[in-house]
Amino acid sequence: MTTPAELPVNSNSDVVLVRQHVRTTAIDVGLSLVDQTKVVTAASELARNALVYAGGGQVRVEIVHNGIRKGLRLVFSDEGPGIPDIEQALTDGWTTGGGLGLGLSGSRRLVDEFDLKSAPGEGTLITVTKWAR
Amino acid sequence: MDRVPVLKLGDILIVSIQIDLQDQSVLALQEDLADKVVATGARGVIIDITAVEIVDSFIGRMLATIAAISRMLDAETVVVGMRPAVAITLVELGLSLGGVRTALNLEKGVALLNHLEGSRIAAAVQ
């Protein structure tokens, strides 16, 4: 599998492809089965968010190193309406899209590092990292 | 879009999810199952997720919704075959699927449905 890879998130079938690519890369990085499952689930949530709230976007999947540790990093970016209140958006149960409100808050719990940059009218950039143990 | 087949065994409907589910397939399955529960008068629905590698909040909500719809149509739903990694991830995600019955495998799922049916008959007789 080539990394880094840029994948589009413009349809429901793209969400499935993102999950599959993240799974394959997570295996390459050497993540445990539970950690693979967590990061693929987070990827699924964030990809769906980009699709539902921004009408689409893309994700960069890359392998990162910290000393001898390897990690999997996902960078989701979109040019959607952005998030006016990030703290609120990261609260369990908060949703403007009719979902369960677990996408952002839940994904944050499933990864080791979570960074969200967004402003109204400027799109959203979410970077998550899962490190191999 | 792939459709998930719904199988009938006696008065139980069995759905085994073997594909990487797209959101539309999930919605189609909800409707197919509701139709089939009514058409067959099934008293139980078993959803086998042995082959499912991840359950995200969308699929999790689908499981809960199917359970709620079936209950309204007089059928009980049991989700069977959840992988340990999926269970760990779901709980951490914040989705404990409170309203959904689970069993470890298909055999135990059928036994659970028979047990539930037994208690229902016993309650009706009293």
Which H or E run contains A45? helix A33-54
Give the mean pLDDT of A33-52: 96
In a domain, B121, yes or no: yes
User: B49: which DSSP letter?
Assistant: -
Supply B41's token pair. Answer: 């008068």
Token pair 């008293």 is found at B43
pTM of the model: 0.91
In a domain, B1, yes or no: no
Read off the CATH number of the domain in which A70 is found.
3.30.565.10
CA distance B3 to chain A (A): 14
In a domain, B38, yes or no: yes
d(CA A19, CA A44): 6
Residue A84: give the domain boundaries.
Answer: 5-131
HEC string of B56-88 equals CHHHHHHHHHHHHHHHHCCCEEEEECCCHHHHH
What is the tally of structural domains in chain A?
Answer: 1
Pairing of β A57-66 and β B101-103: unpaired
Higher pLDDT pick, A122 / A1: A122
In a domain, B95, yes or no: yes
Q: Give yes or no for residue A100 having a pLDDT over 90.
A: no
Cα A61 to Cα A39, A40, A91, B5: the distances in Å are 12, 12, 26, 34
CA distance B54 to chain A (A): 6
Nearest to A102 among B85, B88, B95 (CB): B95
Please tell me if residue B9 touches chain A, with a CB cutoff of 8 Å: no
Grade residue A94 by pLDDT with cuts at 50, 70 and 90.
confident
Higher pLDDT pick, B122 / A112: A112
Q: Kindly identify which residue of chain A lies nearest to residue B89, measuring between CA atoms.
A: A38
Q: What is the pLDDT of residue B20?
A: 81
Token pair 């019955």 is found at B101
List of chain A residues whose C-beta atoms are within 8 Å of the C-beta of residue B21:
16
Q: Reduced to 3 states, what is the DSSP secondary structure of residue A123?
A: coil
Please tell me if residue A105 touches chain B, with a CB cutoff of 8 Å: yes
Is residue A22 within 8 A of residue A76, CB to CB? The reply is no
List of chain A residues whose C-beta atoms are within 8 Å of the C-beta of residue B92:
38, 106, 109-110
Read off the CATH number of the domain in which B121 is found.
3.30.750.24
Higher pLDDT pick, A2 / A70: A70
Please tell me if residue B2 touches chain A, with a CB cutoff of 8 Å: no
In a domain, B112, yes or no: yes
Q: Give yes or no for residue A59 having a pLDDT over 80.
A: yes
Grade residue A2 by pLDDT with cuts at 50, 70 and 90.
low
d(CA B107, CA B85): 21
Please tell me if residue A69 touches chain B, with a CB cutoff of 8 Å: no
Helix runs in chain B, H state only: 23-40, 57-72, 84-93, 106-125
Higher pLDDT pick, B108 / A86: B108
pLDDT tens track for B73-89: 999 999 999 999 999 99
Per-residue pLDDT tens listing for chain B (126 residues): 778 899 999 999 999 998 888 888 888 999 999 999 999 999 999 999 999 999 999 899 999 999 999 999 999 999 999 999 999 999 999 988 888 999 999 999 999 999 988 888 888 887
Q: Give yes or no for residue A1 having a pLDDT over 70.
A: no
Q: What is the pLDDT of residue B90?
A: 94
Percent of chain A with pLDDT over 90: 80
Please tell me if residue A81 touches chain B, with a CB cutoff of 8 Å: no
Residue B61: give the domain boundaries.
Answer: 6-125
What is the tally of structural domains in chain B?
Answer: 1
In a domain, B30, yes or no: yes
Give the mean pLDDT of A6-24: 95
